[in-house]
Amino acid sequence: MKKRIAILGSTGSIGTQTLEVIRQFPDRFSVEVLTAGSQADLLIQQALEFKPNTVVIRDKEYYEEVKNALLPHYIKVFAGEESLSQIVQMDSIDVVLLALVGFLGLKPALSAIEAGKHIALANKETLVVAGELVTKLAVKKRVAILPVDSEHSAIFQCLQGENLNSVEKIFLTASGGPFRGFNKKQLSKVTSKEALNHPNWKMGHKITIDSATLMNKGLEVIEAKWLFGLEPSQIEVIVHPQSVIHSMVQFTDGSIKAQMGMPDMRIPIQYALSYPERFFSNFPRFSFAECTMLNFEQVDQENFPNLTIAYKALSAGGNMPCILNAANEIAVDAFLNNKTGFLKMSDVIEQCMELIPFISNPTFEDYLSTDHEARIKALELIN
């Protein structure tokens, strides 16, 4: 039996690497749906190779172009953001791999879970913004949320065969990003170009900036809380510059399990798709001869305040992580476009968390309005 997969965000970094994995296993996986934002050319090329049932191009400007290219091949074409939430409910889909970036992923995620589709989750912002809503619905619909994020895949792999009650805490590893060891003065001068030069991982722009500010690790702490049902005090972040240990679980007897491997996103992607099986891969293997040292450091919370800010949002709960996420998305976008400085990003996020009204038990509509308000406030603070 083939697993029939919908890839939301197929032209991004995770999406293209997912297709690399699927290409290796034509008799285990089939592509049912591909969706892209505005990269019409790549979407067309992918659709011609993988022959999905349906594609969606979010930017309506490219609809005619995509339709004209794919209709002769009997591939259905839709456009617009609303189509994403409808398409994920198609009967012929088994798994939705969610690789959209940011808040955008929330609505299609809820829609897919509502229709009983299993989720391979690369879009961490979905759990950051509305972790409680998403995980509750997944339990109700008996849907699995399989982590694609490498740290969470590591935790998930360490937990196989274990009882959740015997977990004492988890260690999320962080590379520290390109500016590890920098002080405030140095950080005040860094550019988006320097930030995009990540030492270990090849990733999309948004997550690469998040890695440089450590917000990525903050978002991952919140993601881990919801995926594994942990208390904030059970989640510790440690800097591990080689990115070989992808994360660890410490059990109640003091034993620690680590999951290791090359920093290659195709491994966690493949595991999320093959689970509960493991498939062979020919990706490069880790070499102990070439890497003779693994280092660990404490996080520099003084110069990189985002992790502390994220723990604050997690402890506050309610719509606070949603505020944090929206403000961060705006700040990162501004930094990428050279409209704000590196250090200002954290200030904008903290101020939004103080200024936007707190809601302790938000509904889906509350999340929409919180996201909207926080974005406007963040833009005001930047300009």
Residue 210 found at the interface with Mn ion (CB under 5 A): no
Q: Mask of contacts with Mn ion, 150-189, x by CB under 5 A?
A: xx--------------------------------------
First to last CA, the chain: 54
**Region of 38-46, 142-150, 280-288, 348-356 interacting with Mn ion (CB under 5 A):** 142-150
* Torsion angle (degrees, nearest 10) of CA 131, 307, 356, 376: -90
Q: Of 201 and 279, which has the nearer Cβ to Mn ion?
A: 201
Q: What DSSP designation does 149 have?
A: S
One residue of 149, 210, 350, 371 binding Mn ion per CB under 5 A: 149
Other CB atoms within 10 Å distance of the CB of residue 240: 22
Quote the tokens at residue 93. Answer: 């889909």
Q: Of 31 and 219, which has the nearer Cβ to Mn ion?
A: 219
Q: Of 90 and 99, which has the nearer Cβ to Mn ion?
A: 99
Q: Of 104 and 265, which has the nearer Cβ to Mn ion?
A: 265
Where are the strands (E) in the chain, listed by range? Answer: 3-8, 29-36, 54-57, 76-79, 95-98, 118-121, 145-147, 167-174, 235-239, 245-251, 256-260
Cα 375–376–382 angle (5° rounding)? Answer: 90
**Region of 145-153, 245-253, 339-347, 355-363 interacting with Mn ion (CB under 5 A):** 145-153
Q: Of 150 and 213, which has the nearer Cβ to Mn ion?
A: 150
Shortest Å, Cβ 116 to Mn ion:
27
Nearest-CB residue for Mn ion: 149
Residues 72 to 91 in contact with Mn ion, rule: CB under 5 A: none
Cα 177–278–272 angle (5° rounding)? Answer: 50
Q: Which of 281, 271, 59 is nearest to 150 (CA)?
A: 271
What are the two backbone dihedrals, phi and then psi, of residue 206, each rounded to the nearest 5 degrees? -60, -50
**Region of 25-33, 141-149, 221-229, 253-261 interacting with Mn ion (CB under 5 A):** 141-149
Q: Of 220 and 350, which has the nearer Cβ to Mn ion?
A: 220
**Binding positions for Mn ion, rule: CB under 5 A:** 149-151
